[in-house]
Amino acid sequence: MATTAMAVSFKVELLSGAHCFMATQSGVSCAGTTGQFALTSLASTANLAVGMAVTGTGVAAGAVIASVDSSSQVTLSKAHTATVSSATFTGDVFKMLLIKASPTRTFDGTQTNVGTPGSGSPSATNVGTDETSGAGYTSGGVTLANVNPSNPSGATAITTFSANPSWTTASFSATAAVIYNSSGRLGGTTGRAVSVHDFGGTQTVASGTFTVVLPTADATNAILRIA
């Protein structure tokens, strides 16, 4: 069974700055000098946040944003290995996995982590063997593409993901989905649960396409909302 809910632990983590839903910005024009840490001449740093991963020619492997210094400059955690002229900035990587038909536990807002999907006893810290399985499904689920959080109306903030999650050449059954953060922003812990989404019954696909169409991205229906 599953009950649609935002994980309580996620709410605490969010207030602790432990999740970054910023959309990826690719090929951003900037300037960096070998051996230095700063990236200058950015057109805008409005949608950049500390901790976002940074990649690009001349950017050191594993570098993240250490500080946002101004509207045109950020400082990275590692010195550049060569001249930098453009960079890609990536928020946390969120994924959606599916819960099998007739799971042994009820997934709800008490879920804190997905643990080791597909392995081990299900608990609040482990989806374990309650994860679905079958042709076309890879344990751990699919990666979601971030969309910058927004305030579409009223006092509600939302975020959603672009390109609805889908599985092809698929044969499996599922009763719910769990969205989780696969990045280790807080204490290096990966797999932190974000939310559980009940499907309202068992959904079965046989040698076909299974798509979870995310709800309307507005203040009433968006997949993730904070009122």
Contacts with another protein by CB under 8 A lie at 4, 136, 162-164, 166, 168-169, 177, 197-200, 203-218, 220-221, 223
Q: Is 154 left (phi over 0), alpha (psi -120 to 50) or beta?
A: left
Report the amino acid identity of residue 111: Q
Shortest Å, Cβ 45 to another protein: 23
Residue 67: beta bridge partners?
A: 75
Nearer to another protein, 67 or 166 (CB): 166
**How would you class 200 by CB atoms within 10 Å of its CB: exposed for 0-12, middle for 13-18, buried for 19 or more?**
exposed
Which C-beta is closer to another protein: that of 120 or that of 152? 152
Q: How many CB atoms lie within 10 A of CB 77?
A: 16
Q: Which of 108, 94, 125, 112 is nearest to 9 (CA)?
A: 112
Task: State in angstroms the smallest separation of the CB of 4 from another protein.
Answer: 7
Q: Which is closer to another protein, CB of 72 or CB of 203? A: 203
Minimal distance, residue 19 CB to another protein, in Å: 20
Give me 63's structure tokens: 């570098």
Nearer to another protein, 185 or 197 (CB): 197
Closer residue to another protein in complex, CB, 27/184:
27
- Residue 62 Cβ, how far from another protein at the closest point, in Å? 23
C-alpha distance from residue 134 to each of 191, 193, 205 (Å): 22, 23, 10
Question: Closest approach of Cβ 185 to another protein, in Å?
Answer: 26
